[in-house]
A and B are shown apart, each in its own frame.
Chain A
Amino acid sequence: MGVVTTPPAIGTKLSVDHVHVVFKRDGKTISVLEDINLEVRSGEFICIVGPSGCGKSTLLNTMAGFLAPTSGSVNIDGEAVRGPDPRRILVFQERGVFPWLTVEENIGFGLFRLPRAEREQRIARYVELVRLQGFEKAYPSDLSGGMRQRVQVARALAVNPDVLFLDEPFGALDSITRLLMRGELLRIWEAERNTVIFVTHDIDEAVQLADRVVVMSSRPARIDRVTTIDIPHPRNISSPRYLELRDAIYEQIGLAYTL
């Protein structure tokens, strides 16, 4: 299908090579992404953080194939990304579930190629994985925001994607639900082991979840630094190492961590 460009390094799932994105608006050109380079290993959990409006979501949309880079390329398994693909699913911040479908219909949305029995089995499995038993026939309007995001994650995972892109998936939730959802996502990731690329503006969230945190600078966005979070899960978020890593990222972004 796609054109094989460079042979991927061993274990590399996704590579971003010299990606530039330039928007043209009202005759003005705005450089949104400037020379982004990133390699993501298979099964790795990456968080991308940066100030809001810096282009994190643009980068994610480029990686997911919704946006073609102005120059440079995104490769997955050594194959250039040329558009959205069911092998890599993007989870949106909110309103991503289809309101006209029930929970089980949403989760089964991408399973139309499977025979009926297998599809139902798969739906049941993912309903259970995101703990929505008893809500199979409910419509999204009857669910809380956190439950709706579970539906979206389940719908994405049900098609067994190699890569899961999440665009501030818990950004619209209250802080308690957000914390619970992080735990849930880690539990699911440990069970499924997809490659996860997670965009957030919440530094704590990033340090709690990620294997590596990618810090981006303001527009035009560049990758400022990549921090490896060498704390095993479950993470103690008051441990000195956690605080040290977190504070280093705060400092990098130029935020004082005393108010």
Chain B
Amino acid sequence: MLVAGSAVADSTSVWDGQIRMGGIVKDETGDKSVMQETFNVYEGFSVTSLYLQGRFNPRTHLRFDLNDINLDDRNGQLEFRRSGVFSLRSRYDESRFVFDPVGALDASRKDFWSRLSLTPTKWFWLAADYNLQTREGDRLGYPSGVQSALGTRYDSDLNRYRVEAQMRASSGIGGTIAVDGVDLTDNLSALNGREGRVYSANVHVPGVFYDRLTHVVRASLGRNELKESGLGYDVTTVQYTGLLAPWPALRAKYRFYGGQVEDEATDLQTNRYIHDGDVEVRYRIATLSGGYGWEAWDDDRSVTTYDNIRAALALRDPGDKVTARFAWSTRNKEDEEDITLLRDTEYARWDARIDTKPVTGITVGGRFAERTREMPDVGAQADGFYASAYGRYDRQFSGDSGVDAAHVELSYQYSDDDYDNAVGAYHVKSNFVTGRVHADVFDKVKAGAGVTFMSISEDLDIDKSILSFDLGYALPRGFSVDAKYNVYNYDDYLVDGRYYTANVVWVNVGYEFSTE
């Protein structure tokens, strides 16, 4: 009744829509399991997109967006809203994963999600989410030939839901209470069936005791268990965050977290406590922040503590043309009783980034990061290095130049990951380039091209690339045609026969309408 009553159209009813349909031609050769980007590209007729948006009356709106509708695939979103009363959002996706080179062994995942929100009063909101995910089909273990504990088939249903109520007062105080549930049914093995439920609550209180002090408190209580055996674990958490901002230039924050997990499977109770604080100071164009956190994990068998230290300097010019940030952090774990397998762990990271807008429409930037993780007692160390640079150009044109809009972007990324283990090592480098050019011309033509290229080296030798070209033309009376051509390439130079090439062409005819 709520929906029907809302959907009464009046003279202000306005609708826009577009439909595009056509065909896909896919010519592929090689190992079909290596190029995930083509797993869900199906040859044949397809409704490429079906889009409808509009309003029945000034307060009731609908958006309907379907993509790639064909015999093998379908995806879509729906939003129906009456401003200030309710909104309904739903999403559905199907996707496929290919396990073997000839494409004969594959599994599908179907994902449905929906959320209903009600706002019956100014101070009280209700919302409910539901998600159903099904997996079915074939499965291969890794490496090939290994008998996997998950078997050779998928057939499972995963149900999730969340119901929450938000309350707020005109003073700014508010809170949420919620229940989250999960139910997994594995139709091939009852052992894997699980169910769980968590009850949680938040309270947000600005201005208690002192009008520049904000409090956020969270708590939760839940259980997750195996349906067949009843074996489970219980979770309890409490969090408090206090945010103090006595002056515009200073902000301080303290967070406490306490959590407990009682695991019936191992008969262990794991307690985790976190004390974390940070301070931020602003002066002109600079913001300096630093923080320290201490954690303790105690599972009745071992005790580990963690120190976390972090610092950052951010710079922002008053005209917002240049921003930069430098950050450093460490996290060190200490096995207080020397009985865990990995013992102590030392982790450090620092990174820097800069983004600039030198002139209108142009953005240029770069980033650099380095991280290291060492487990001295085990004799293992991992190092990672990353550097990237990018540029973007966006411009809307006016006048008689013929070009209405242009977009150019280019980015380059380099990474180096080096793992030295107690036995053996693994080292991989990657170079990644992506670029895109697009232009709207003479009010009728849209043209674009893009490239994605990746080269992986050291212990691997893989090249992967995707080239794309697209062209669209607007015909009279709302009609249009568009075409896209993609070339996919994958080559693994260390494994015989592990290559892939595909040429895919999309051609669509479209129609666009508006009642306005």
The answer to whether A binds B is no
Query: Interface of A with B (CB < 8 Å)?
Result: none
Query: Interface of B with A (CB < 8 Å)?
Result: none
